[in-house]
Each structure stands twice: as C-alpha cells, then as structure tokens.
Structure 1
Amino acid sequence: MTIFLTGAAGFIGSHVAEALLSRGERVVGIDNLNDYYSVDLKRARLARLSGRTGFDFIEGDVADRAAVDAALKRAASLGGPVTGIVHLAAQAGVRYSLENPYVYADANLMGQVVMLEATRGLDALTHFVYASSSSVYGANTKLPFSTDDPVDHPVSLYAATKRSGELIAHSFSHIHKVPTTGLRFFTVYGPWGRPDMAAYLFCDAIMAGRPIRVFNEGRMERDFTYIDDIVAGVLAALDHPAAPDARGVPTKLYNLGNHKSESLLRFIEVIERALGRTALKSLEPMQAGDVPATYADIEATRRDLGFDPATPIEVGIPKFVAWYKDYHGIA
C-alpha cells in the first residue's frame, strides 16, 4: 500500500514524508521544485529522504494532468495500490499573490482539481487529505477562529484560492463520495522552514545586522504552530477518513494551530534570546492582504483527531534557531 504525497520537497511535506516513513509507510512524493524560494533548500530536504527505505520521488507539477496520472501509475507500480493521498503542494505566500496571481490559479486551483479528478481511478483510495490555510478567515474579528465561522471575505488572492480549494473538495466529495479532509494550517515554523516566513526572515536579518520589518508597528498576533505538532495533526487526519456529514457528504475541515495567539514582539524576543543578539526593528504599516491576528479554535480537532499541540514558542524557536545555524554553518 502506498501514500501519495504532493509537495514532498516542501517544508511541511518533507516532514510528513519522514513521519510516514518512520511508521513503516510506503511513500511516493511529487514536487515541481519551483524557484519561489531556494531550490537548494528543497533538494537538501529531499536528500534527507532519499536514503530512506520506502521513499521514491517523482519531479512533476500537480497542475499537469498527464504528469499526475503518470506519477500515480508509477506510484502503484513501485509500492502497490495508492490508499491515501496527502496533497500539500501549493503556491504559498500572501504577499507574493499580489505580484504573481497567475501561479496561484495554476497551483492552488488547477492543482486541486487535477489531484481530485485523479482519485477517480484509484479503487483502493480511502482518504484525500489536503492543505488549506488560516488565511481563509480573512478579516474575521471573532477570536479564536472556528471552522464554523463564515469565510466569505478573503483579503488576499492566496486566501481566496485556498477557500476555493475547500469548496472544490466539498463538491467532489458530494458527487463522487471520496472522503476529503482539509487542514487549515496556522503559521507553521520549525527546522527546514521556508525562507519567506517570519522566523527565517528575522534570523537572516538579525545575523546580518539588518533591521527586521515589523508590520503594523508590531501590533500583530499569530498562532505560531511548531512543525512536529502540525505533522502529528496531518497523520491523525489521514488515519481518520471523513465520515458523511448530515447531508451525506464525506468531507471535513479542521484547524491545525497551537491554540495560543502570540504577540509578534514576543515572538521576536524569543528569537533574539535564542540567537544571543538584539534585533534592529523597522516599524512599518500593515501590508495589503495581511490581518492583525490569528488564533485557532481546535476543539473539534482535539475531539475528532486527538490533536494536542505540545510545543510553545519558548521550545520551538530555539530548535529552529539551532537548525538555522547548523544549515548555514554558523558557529
């Protein structure tokens, strides 16, 4: 039996692959290795997986129908029928969606449609788990964010594509009865993290003696979630195929967050302490497409999946900083 994992060279994807392999799963990963951020970092993540028994990698684009069909056939030939799909491949980044909107339509919309349609030929498939985002909550002011809240007012194209992906999955499950579960990730950080995310950007700037950009003049709060907790949530979701809802549609949505909203300035303080350096701060206005606060209601995730995040930033940030220094050869 095989788990087909998209975005395998990505931050979350590579960690999920490692966790699946550690529990004895056969994993076939696909990634297009695009240059949105360092391809060397993506290849370094893959290098950690390449020697693991049960892992195979296929370079390909999830928005390419022929490539996905060929990859799924190869996956089945390598490890047996595909029983689960974890679809994490996406074009990430709120601010970049203002600059290059077309790649979001390709990766996040077409990619979702292609991956779901590809499941129709997989007789052994039991569950399709996919990545959504806390950004779907848009300008909502009620905290914490609940999956029962309305999400009809996205404030970025990225958020709009992620919400659209949820609706596409719902319609697919309604028609074809394939169980689908969407996971709304809340500001994930940790070792092997993305260079466009706050923790990495702040470390880069502090180590180089450059000012860090602090948006909304620091009046920001985020539900920062450590990668190990996210991975545990992804695997728990995969292991619990969505049951039919009141309308008979086998689809679910869950928040994966730390259930604690941290001040951005507090987050910076913990990074400063871990690095042993003080940050220079450039206080800037709120950026287009951004929101002042995020905070995950995880009651349903705890109840249904046993999800129990256990890593505060005081523990997670030093682990990220230790990896950052090692990866960049900093003593």
Structure 2
Amino acid sequence: MNWLTNFVRPKIRALYAKKDVPDNLWLKCPNCEAMLFHRDLEENLRVCQHCGFHMRIDPVRRMQMLFDGGEYQTIELPKAPPDPLRFRDQKRYADRLKEAQSKTGRPDAILVAHGRMDGMPVVVAAFDFGFMGGSMGIAVGEGLVAAARLAVLQDAPLVVVPASGGARMQEGILSLMQMPRTVIAVEMVKEAGLPYVVVLTDPTTGGVTASFAMLGDVHIAERGAQIGFAGARVIEDTIRETLPEGFQRAEYLMEHGMVDMVVHRKDLRRTLSKLLDLLRRPAPVAEVVAMPIAVAEVEAEAVPPPAAAASKDGREPAGEPAER
C-alpha cells in the first residue's frame, strides 16, 4: 500500500478541488452588466444597486411588497376554456399552457388578491410576465372582471399592475374581446366612486395599453418601464423617421403627459398608500376654522370707489367723499 498515492494525494486534491456553486448566486444586470449577488438583489427589490435598473418581478413578490406585512388573500378566478380555437403553431396551444402553468405554478398570467395597505382595504390585480409574456386571454379578462367586482363588493380601491406584451394571439378574436370587457370592468369601479390606479411596469404594451392600462384615475410608472402600443421598430418602419432617445420609456411619457408620476420601486408602496388615502378621504383631518374678517374691511369693500360715485349726468362729484 503506497501511502503517498492512497492518502496524501487525495488530501491534496481535496484542497484544490472545485466546489459546486449554484448557478443562481450571481446575476448580471441587463442594463449595466454588473454582477449582482442574489441576496443583495432581493433586498433591493430586484433593482440594480449600480444603475437603478428595475428588473421584472413575479406577482407574488409584488403582493408581498405592497400589502401590510406581506399578508394577503388570493381569490379563485373563474375557469376559462383552455383552448377554445384548438390553435396550433409550432406547438399546440394546450401544450404551451401546460408548460407555462408548470413553470409558474399559476393557472394563467394574472393574480388577484385583497388585503390592507396602511390599514386600508385594497384589491390588487398583478400580471406575471413569465406566463407567456403576460399576454391577455380569456382567463386574464375574467380575472380583471372578478377583481373589479371584488373591489365594488368590498368598497375598496382597485390597483392593477400590468406587465404584458398584449393580447394572446393563440386565442384570436376572443382575446381581443377582453379589451372592451376590461373597460367595462373599470367603469364598474368608477361608477361605484372607487379609485382605480394603474402601476405601469416593464413592459406594458399592445392591447393591454389600448384598454384598461390607460384608464386609471392616476398612472404610476416604475423607472425605465417600457410603455406603448406597437414596438419602436414597427413605428420607425411605418413613419420612416428615427424616434427620439428614450421613446416609450416611463420618463419620456411623463414629460409628455401620458404618465402622472415615475416612482422608484422602494417608494411605490408609500406612494400608493398616500395616494389612495387622499382619494378615499379627501376631507381635511382637522376641523376647518373660519378666519375672522375685520368689520372695517367689510364696510370698505362695500363702498364703491370715487369713480363709481359719479352723478347720473356723467359729471364727477363736487368733492371728495366724506370720511367715515
């Protein structure tokens, strides 16, 4: 038995052997390409510490971020037909749905929940871009209608957080029909006198932008979010002009009046709670006290100026008005 081969060499190899490192410990920022440690990134709400780029987050993380103590209750959404047109491209649409459901653990691209935000009851409907690009099909339309009905039932504001590429092409005209349905759902909330706020995240495009996403009482956008209908390349090819820098980004849209405010993700919950509090309780928190007005000032305002005291024949009065 050779002790160098059987004992010393394994010890030396163990010292220099490469250890298995999980692949998800470090992530690269898509904007500045900086390497970010996963724990630091999660603590910063998936916002790059170097350039401030807002990465996409799933609806569960979004709900935990918005509700008090991260506590909320989801509702079961109405079931939609899985493949109404029996659509098939490179894959069957039914197979694509099963893959997305197994990947995300959700039946479709929307999650509806209710809870409290600074003690105020609120209903939130958040999209999952990881589920077929957050596309809007029948199930998403049913989810938004259910969220509107729940908001009216609970007398609570409705907050919608879209992250979508638009209508779902595999459902054809049935997906386009969800655009007017979601508009009717928004009108239900507004007719009940409840606030409807939209938080625009990256990306919000297509039929989602052309329907409920641009009907909010207030539009809040995350920094750098892409918001628009058609893609920038399609627009450039159509109008044959070069688009300005930052076109379809949240900051550009706020400068041109399509977005009310652009908020950092860490300030989103505080901004929403203050906004909803103002919309739900517009009356001042303290008693309104009337300011006393001096009697002399009231009498002085009641007496017309000398020019107005002219006689009927147009002549000025003979002397100055007597002092009171």
- TM-score by length of structure 1 reads 0.32
User: Max radius of gyration: which structure?
Assistant: 2
Greater relative contact order, per chain length (Cα 8 Å cut-off, separation 6+):
1
